[in-house]
Structure 1
Amino acid sequence: MYSQNTNAQMDKDLVTHAMEGNLSTLDGYVPSMTVTQDGQTAYFSKATYQKPLTGVFSKKELIHEIYRAENINGEWKNVTKMEVCPKYASAKHPTISDDGKRLFFASNMRGSYGKYDIYVAEVKPDGSLGVSKNLGPKVNTKEDELYPNLYNGTLLFFASEGRDGFGGLDLYATQVVLNTLTPSVNLGDHINSDRDDYAIQLSPEKGLGFVVSNRGQNHTISQYTVAYGHAKKEDNRYVADRDTNIQTAMNTTQEYTSTSYEDK
């Protein structure tokens, strides 16, 4: 395992091309925007301080909101705020399905199981969103669930601190298949650490995962490269022989429907 530092700079524009994500003084690690497979539509979140609903003299609160942008002649334009949760609640970390018909995100809106939960909303043909639906107890807990990220259309990665893991935020996966979810599985101690592990991207052809974590010295947020699966290292020791859950989940090829999620 070795580390590679991510870009440590704040957003200066509403839309960023830093696809690896970046660091913010407001929210720590900020994932990159998510783009539809045809490259024409992007979703991202931005945080601003806003006056709360009640309390004339109350301090402003940090509110996260999700935006949509369109690729017009190579430039991101027509930036629109998406109405995915009630006013004064936060929504962040959007990820779009390959077919562009489902938007997953984290929100602390009223009715959540705990703090931030993972939700999904159907993307309508006109670009507006349907009703946001909570993914339920197979994913969400009384604590934070954050950083949802879809892999190969059906495998949903996310970070959670509400389960018995290895410490802080751990990375989990669930399969979204036929409008149902499989029970979430921890990605194991070769991917997770005793610090906060935020997000993972996979490179199947190389058998590598790229994990964003603050496991560095002084809790520095960095990108770590981790081998997984059954590839052996030079010392003939399996790197991730105890972490078969991620390999099993990746090999599932079932398709999910394009309608909004409803757990049976």
Structure 2
Amino acid sequence: MEPILMLLYIYSFFIGIVVASFINVVIYRVPLGLSVAKGRSYCPSCNHQLAWYDLFPIFSYVFLGGKCRYCKAKIPMRDTLIEFIGGLIGILCFHHYQFSWDVLVVFVIIMILLAITMIDFDTMTIPNGLVIALAVPSVVMMLLHPEVSLVSRIIGFFIISLPMYLLIVLIPDCFGGGDVKLIAVGGFLLGWQLTLVAGFIAILIGGCYAVYLLVSKKSKKGAHIAFGPYLSIGIVISLLYGNSLINAYLSLFLL
């Protein structure tokens, strides 16, 4: 690998962990109704405002031994793991799209979906503000990729979200309203073909996880699980690899 390319991968990783550090703030503050734009970061255990040298993603965790500098409370390992995942997402986006605007836009989309995933896991809700935030890069992708027609995007908006909404009417609480909004915006982002792929992946992974919970007796029959994370996974996989998956599937019938 050329040195300049290696530096770009490293740069992508560092950008990823920095943005993911902000995503951790979003994950913590949004469910509490706190502003993500105002106020310095602080320790949730002692409420001590953190100094600038406490805020280096991943490195601060290592240097501080996984504990708050001021009260010695344990820093959640999950926060550091999310920062590391953010770095991997940065590398993935650069590797997949190289030198194009798609790198930035898709990176933003995946980071928003990461925030939605963790908040839904924690609270079983998907904040409207994050769904609206997801709509912005989705419109940008429409401008960058006119090959996906507006008609396809409009059909994608409704092709899964409408059946999900009707199911909610018939079977209350089978899905959350946030799930419907999320797949609607995701459908506009992807177009109808890739939206079907995303929905299939979400149902497959979510269904497997639900079966695991039942078999392991970690959840009772009829209990609800957060579906937003699986929709997010489906959207990301479909966005990055959906066309390849469709082509591979169709090739099975063309032999």
- Smaller-chain TM-score bracket: under 0.3
TM-score (norm 2): 0.27
TM-score (norm 1): 0.26
**Bigger RCO of structures 1 and 2 (CA < 8 A, at least 6 apart):** 2
Compare the two structures and name the one with the higher strand fraction. 1
Compare the two structures and name the one with the higher helix fraction. 2
